[in-house]
C-alpha cells in the first residue's frame, strides 16, 4: 500500500497516542506554573519597591509647622556708629622766652575758670587760663629757670567733649544736623543725650565707599572718669512704633510678589495663607499693621524636606506629610521676648583728633 492510496502507515515514535498527549499537557501545566511564579515574584518586587518609594516620598515631603503668637509692644530701629571721645578745649602753655618761674598758683587736678591765674614768669608776668578746665600737668616749680618754647603747664576741659564718626554713603541720607542721638561710653557705663553737631559733606573714600565726617558734642560734666580716647557709640534713632502688634520676623513668609503672609489653621485643621501688612522692622521683630490680632496664633513652615528626584517632585502633592507643633506654655517666652530695637553698626575706626583710619 502507498500513501497515494490514502492509507496511513504508523511510524514508530509518531502520532497522537494517549501517552504523548498526557506528556504535552504536563509540560503546559509546568510552563503555566512557572509563569505564575514569575508574575508573583515580579509583583512582590514591585510592591516592595513601591512601598520603599512611597515611604521615601512621604519622608522627603514632610512639612513641619511651628506656632508663633502675635503680641503687643513697641519696636524701633536705629543707626549705630563707633568713634572715640575727644577734647574740644585743651592747651599746653610754653615759655615765650627764657626766664624764671616766680610763682605757681595751681596744682595737678585743680579746676580753673577762664581768667584764673596759672603761674608768673619773670619775663612775661602772670599767665591766666584761657578757658575753664582741669589742670592736667604742671612741669614747673617756683624758682625754676626755663627756656623759650619749654612746656610748662597744660589744662583740658573734660566736661565738654566731642565724638567724631564717619557716616557711610548708604546712611548719610538718614542723618542730619540737629538730629537727636545718644552717646554711650561702655567702659565708664555712661550714656548721654545729644544732637548731631556738624556734617562735613566733602567725602572721604575708603574701601570703595564714601564716608562723611560727623561730629557730636557731649556734656560730660555729670560724670567722672571720662577721658579722651575712650571708645564711644553714637546711636541715631530712625523709626519707632509704640503699642502696636508685633511678630517675630522669622514667622513671616513671603509670596512671589514680595508680599508677606502667615499660615493660620482653619477649624478643619488645614493651613491657609493669610496676607499681612507690615510696618517698622528691627531685624528681629516686625510691626503688623493688618491681618493679625493680639494673642492670635499663627504658624510658619519650620522644615520642608524635598527630594531632588523629578518623579518625586511630580508626586509630591500626593505624598506630603504634615506635622503641626502645638503651642506650649513657655513658647511665648522662647519666641516672643519683646520688640526691642535694632542697631545697624558702623564700626568705622575714627581716630582721636578726627583723623580717619581704614
pLDDT in tens, 64-110: 889 999 999 998 889 999 999 999 999 999 999 999 999 999 999 99
**Does residue 133 register a pLDDT over 80?**
yes
Alpha-carbon gap, residue 49 to 42, rounded angstroms: 10
pLDDT in tens, 312-341: 444 444 445 667 776 654 444 444 444 554
- DSSP 3-state of 131: coil
Q: How many CB atoms lie within 10 A of CB 173?
A: 8
Residue 8: alpha-carbon gap to chain centroid: 103
The per-residue pLDDT for 160 is: 95
The secondary structure of 248-287 as a DSSP string is EGGG-EE-TTS-EEEEEE-TTS-EEEEE-EEEEE-SSEEE
Alpha-carbon gap, residue 334 to 75, rounded angstroms: 18
pTM score, two decimals?
0.59
Which residues share a beta bridge with 12?
none
Alpha-carbon gap, residue 131 to 136, rounded angstroms: 13
Closest CA to 230 of 186, 198, 268: 186
pLDDT in tens, 277-300: 999 988 889 999 999 999 999 998
Amino acid at each position: 500500500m502507498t500513501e497515494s492510496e490514502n492509507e496511513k502507515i504508523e511510524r514508530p515514535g509518531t502520532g497522537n497516542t494517549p501517552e504523548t498527549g498526557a506528556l504535552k499537557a504536563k509540560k503546559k501545566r509546568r510552563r503555566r506554573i512557572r509563569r505564575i511564579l514569575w508574575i508573583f515574584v515580579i509583583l512582590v518586587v514591585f510592591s516592595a519597591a513601591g512601598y520603599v518609594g512611597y515611604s521615601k516620598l512621604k519622608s522627603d515631603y514632610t512639612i513641619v509647622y511651628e506656632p508663633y503668637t502675635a503680641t503687643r509692644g513697641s519696636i524701633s530701629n536705629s543707626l549705630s556708629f563707633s568713634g572715640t571721645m575727644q577734647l574740644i578745649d585743651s592747651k599746653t602753655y610754653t615759655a615765650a622766652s627764657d626766664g624764671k618761674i616766680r610763682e605757681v598758683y595751681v596744682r595737678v587736678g585743680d579746676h580753673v575758670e577762664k581768667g584764673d591765674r596759672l603761674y608768673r614768669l619773670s619775663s612775661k608776668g602772670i599767665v591766666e587760663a584761657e578757658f575753664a578746665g582741669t589742670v592736667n600737668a604742671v612741669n614747673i616749680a617756683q624758682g625754676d629757670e626755663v627756656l623759650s618754647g619749654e612746656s610748662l603747664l597744660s589744662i583740658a576741659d573734660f566736661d565738654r567733649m566731642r565724638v567724631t564718626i564717619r557716616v557711610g554713603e548708604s546712611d548719610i541720607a538718614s542723618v542730619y544736623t540737629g538730629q537727636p542721638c545718644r552717646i554711650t561710653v561702655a567702659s565708664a557705663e555712661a550714656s548721654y543725650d545729644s544732637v548731631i553737631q556738624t556734617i562735613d559733606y566733602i567725602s572721604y573714600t575708603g574701601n570703595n565707599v564714601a564716608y562723611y565726617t560727623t561730629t557730636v558734642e557731649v556734656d560730660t560734666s555729670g560724670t567722672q572718669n571720662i577721658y579722651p580716647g575712650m571708645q564711644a557709640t553714637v546711636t541715631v534713632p530712625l523709626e519707632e512704633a509704640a503699642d502696636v502688634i508685633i511678630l517675630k520676623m522669622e514667622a513671616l513668609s513671603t509670596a512671589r510678589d514680595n508680599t508677606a503672609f502667615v499660615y493660620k489653621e482653619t477649624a478643619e485643621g488645614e493651613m491657609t495663607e493669610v496676607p499681612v501688612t507690615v510696618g517698622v522692622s528691627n531685624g528681629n521683630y516686625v510691626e503688623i499693621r493688618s491681618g493679625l490680632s493680639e494673642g492670635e496664633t499663627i504658624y510658619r513652615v519650620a522644615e520642608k524636606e524635598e527630594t531632588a528626584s523629578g518623579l518625586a517632585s511630580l508626586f509630591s502633592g500626593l505624598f506630603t506629610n504634615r506635622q503641626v507643633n502645638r503651642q506650649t506654655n513657655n513658647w511665648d517666652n522662647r519666641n516672643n521676648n519683646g520688640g526691642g530695637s535694632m542697631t545697624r553698626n558702623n564700626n568705622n575706626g575714627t581716630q582721636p583728633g578726627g583723623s580717619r583710619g581704614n
